[in-house]
A and B are shown apart, each in its own frame.
Chain A
Amino acid sequence: MKKSLVIIMMLMLLSGCIEDNIIDDILMAEAEGYDYIGNNQVIGTITTPNYAQGGVSGSGGGGLPATASMMSSATTVTYDGRSLAENLQPKGQKKIKVGKLRIMLFNEALLKHGFEKTIHFRNQDPEVGRDMYLAMVDGSTKDLLTATYQTAIPISRYVYDLIFQNQQQNFPKNNLSTFLYSYYGRYADPMMPIIKREKDHIVLTGIMFFKHDKYAGRINGQQKAFIFKTLVENFKFGFYDYTFQQNEHAVLENVSSSRQYVVKNGNSATPDIFATIRITGYVRQGSPLLKTKDYNSTIKRGMEKDLEKQIKKMVAGFQKSGIDPIELGQIVRSYTRHFDGASWSDRYPNARFHVKTKINIVETGVSQPR
């Protein structure tokens, strides 16, 4: 008994050499930004939130200086695909750790150049979580990350919350996990949201699409995002603005939207894809001219037609540029026995996409229209 105790103590003494990460003695990078400057070089920016800045509550005027790390952002020039944390270490007075990374931002140039190395590096790294957001920045990421905004919360949380909130609504769900799903997935292409700095605000402006790891197009605005979202997922909180005549709008608030695909002739040269989209919603911002009867006949039908038109246009655009963010290839594969994957990329642009939307307006507000 005594002997084993001695052995345990000795072993414990022997083993006291694991590197520690005491939370107030490390710099936690929460946002990374990459700006491509040509020739495989990037400007990398990281930000770390400065928690001790606002004075320490409870220290009661003891006059003690906070020992928490202070750096808030740093920038360096490096080659594409290199770990920013390691590279910026000379600028940090404490260890820079990426375990709590929440957003990764890229500028358009880098995405046009292709960012395979960066994303591959992320996938390899066990330290980073899979629920962080990737986004493209219109303009410079460094600019966006280091600017001052109306809100005082750290920039990383600001952007994170912005994307999170909007993905609950019109924008499709997208984080590192789903990105990697379609990035490495065989018949699918990834996408990511676009953000932009407007003076002291950050705005979510649209969605960009990849062809494998390269920029291949974008859509702007909530309207388009809604249309896109109906195709890729079932969701609950969105809104669609329908202009039924000049300057007359009806806004459909989504209660639920579901999609269903059926595929025929999956292995032929022109596969047929039938999509059915069912939307249940209510109209809150209708025109005073409209009556309940109108909603159920003309407006509803008009909206369905409009949506179908928009969707077809969008899908045709995707097919033309050969990108597949809706993962139609994946859908065709799952409906086809012995799916011919090799020729899919040639057949995809020729696929016939049919869509049918069914809108159900459940209510139109609490006041009776005139």
Chain B
Amino acid sequence: MFWNKRKNQEMKQDESAAPKTMTDLLLRLKDHPDFSHYRHSRGSFQCWISFFNSLVNVESVHRDVLPFLYDEHVHSLSDIQERIPVEKVEQTTDLKTVQSKLMEGSIIIQEREDSPKCLIVPTVLRESRQVEPPEVETSVFGPKESFVEALDTNISLMRKHIPIPQFTIEQMRIGKISNTRVCIAYIDGVASKENVNTVRQRLQDLELDHLTDTSALSQLVADNSHSPFPQFIDTERPDRTVNALYEGKVAVLVDGSPNALMLPTTIIEFFIAFDDYFISWYIATFTRLLRLFAVAFSVFSSPMYVAVLTYHYQLIPIDLLGSLITSRSVVPFSPMAEALVLELMIELLREAGARLPTKVGQTIGIVGGIVIGTASVQAGLTSNVLLILIGMSALAAFTTPSYRMGTTIRFIRFPFILAAQLWGMLGIALCFAYFVSHLLKQTSLGRPYIEPIYPLRLTDLRDSFIRLPNTSQPERPMLLRPEDAGRFNKKRAKQKVGKQKTDIDE
């Protein structure tokens, strides 16, 4: 196609515009206000020093680099390299390396201005915010740390939890222009080799100019990017990431993003809050089942309302008929129209709440909930019953721990409502069948997406809708095909719990 051709040509031009020699590079950078390039002429050694003020740690430059240039024993670049108390100092003549190091915050030292031979002293300024408690995935129990934008800080947060040499981090650069650092983290010997290879392969095959965040990355490496269902979980909690790594998953971190991507993921994990592991398994099971019910309720309540009230009046129990009809009787619209109006209203409220600053957002919630809700009922635009249903289903959708999944759930309600209007419950059933077959075909990193259900794996079911106690989960999830399947020795775990008592009071 002709436009493809043109794009390629543009790319070529870009490459040709790249600086060819050292002088060329310096000439181009000279005009930048934060670029320092000067000749160091005092002392025994004379050289050219260049760096970006905004990128280097100026304090460290003044303390650890510049004083050593005055040393009388310094006569060449190698001398500096020997004396400077900074690690990973290197000499190179490769222009590309020089350029990228310079742009990352290293100091370049040259003997002559036009010489291609450079000494690179890394004095990178690590400026990032403090490690703070998580904001999106808040929890009542458990650690209160979250990832920050700096990749190295994030890695250190994880290393603290996994103090073994098998914890492997592979780094690569993605993005033609941005050259963003991306890390693959996994525990060697636990994570499946196949999964790691797939992740590496997919990341290497990426074709893009820049990368800003893991969530963008997750869509790029997804198995089916046309699906409304998210295929990988991204989390801001290091503890959750580490837990996933211990299970045998692979994590991907991107420099500049406070999220880690965990691969592969099943749909059920989107409904698991990390808190569940910190509370008694009865209660965890209860809340998980509650969430499952909430999802079903959230997806089906308003479509069922539309279907039943439009087509299947026989289904309504006689005692409910009265209140339904009375509340509907002033509404001039069909059930679908009123459901759509209300659903849209809730979506608007959510969107407005998400865009506004926190303090104003709360006000919007109150205004939306009380004023618009009651007013629309009084104005006869919607019925009371539907207001309750929609309000509850919105609430139910927000119980999903993953915000990403929550949005999907709210989204798929709309096709269901349309289908309900067309063919009542039959429409809902057809729509459901479509989504189920979609999920059946879906994969995450080549692994089945709805895994413990299909393929049916009883060992993985123990930690899905329900959570059994830790002692009965001696294996890592089969989904991940871990190299080392066992978490611990089941027999010994049983022994530790204690022997069965022989009798009362014995």
Contact = CB atoms under 8 A, between A and B. Distances in A.
Interface string B406-445: 0000000000001000111000000000000000000000
Nearest to A67: B329
A157 B318 contact: yes
Given A58-B378, A100-B313, A67 B331 contact: yes
Q: Give the interface SS of chain B, mostly helix, strand, loop or mixed.
A: helix
Give 7 closest A-B pairs by Cβ, nearest first. A68-B329, A99-B314, A60-B378, A66-B329, A51-B325, A52-B329, A24-B328
Interface string B387-412: 00000000000000000000000000
Nearest to A101: B314
A114 interface: no
A352 B313 CA distance: 51
Interface string A27-67: 01010000000000000000001011010111110101111
B19 interface: no
Contacts of A100: 313-314, 316, 318, 321
Interface in A52-88: 52, 54, 56-60, 62, 64-68
B330 A23 contact: no
Interface stretch (A13-21, A193-201, A282-290): A13-21
B62 interface: no
B284 interface: no
Nearest to B317: A100
Given A51-B325, A67-B332, A23 B316 contact: yes
Contact of A67 (B316, B318, B330, B378): B330
Interface string B307-336: 001111110101001101111111110110
Contacts of B380: 59, 62, 64
Interface string B373-393: 000011110001000000000
Contact of B318 (A21, A24, A65, A102): A102
Contact of A23 (B226, B313, B318): B313
A18 B423 contact: yes
Of listed B322, B377, B423, residue having the most chain A CB within 10 A: B322
A24 B377 contact: no
A77 B424 CA distance: 36
Given A22-B334, A68-B326, A51 B379 contact: no
Interface string B328-363: 111110110000000000000000000000000000
Of listed B311, B318, B329, residue having the most chain A CB within 10 A: B329
Of listed B321, B335, B380, residue having the most chain A CB within 10 A: B380
A212 to B, nearest CB: 30
Interface of B: 226, 309-314, 316, 318, 321-322, 324-332, 334-335, 377-380, 384, 418, 422-424
Contact of A59 (B310, B322, B378): B378
A49 B309 CA distance: 17
Interface of A: 1, 12, 15-16, 18, 20-24, 26, 28, 30, 49, 51-52, 54, 56-60, 62, 64-68, 97, 99-100, 102, 127, 129, 157
A24 B329 contact: yes
A18 B258 CA distance: 52
18 contacts: A20-B334, A22-B334, A23-B313, A23-B321, A23-B324, A24-B328, A26-B313, A57-B327, A58-B377, A58-B378, A59-B378, A59-B380, A62-B378, A64-B380, A66-B329, A99-B313, A100-B318, A127-B314
A351 to B, nearest CB: 42
B312 to A, nearest CB: 8
Contact of B330 (A1, A15, A26, A62): A62
Contact of B329 (A30, A51, A62): A51
Nearest to A1: B226
A131 to B, nearest CB: 10
Given A51-B326, A57-B326, A28 B331 contact: no
Given A56-B330, A62-B330, A99-B314, A22 B325 contact: no
Given A22-B335, A28-B321, A97 B313 contact: yes
A26 B316 CA distance: 14
A21 B310 CA distance: 5
Contacts of A58: 327, 377-378, 384
Contacts of B313: 21, 23, 26, 28, 97, 99-100
A51 B318 contact: no
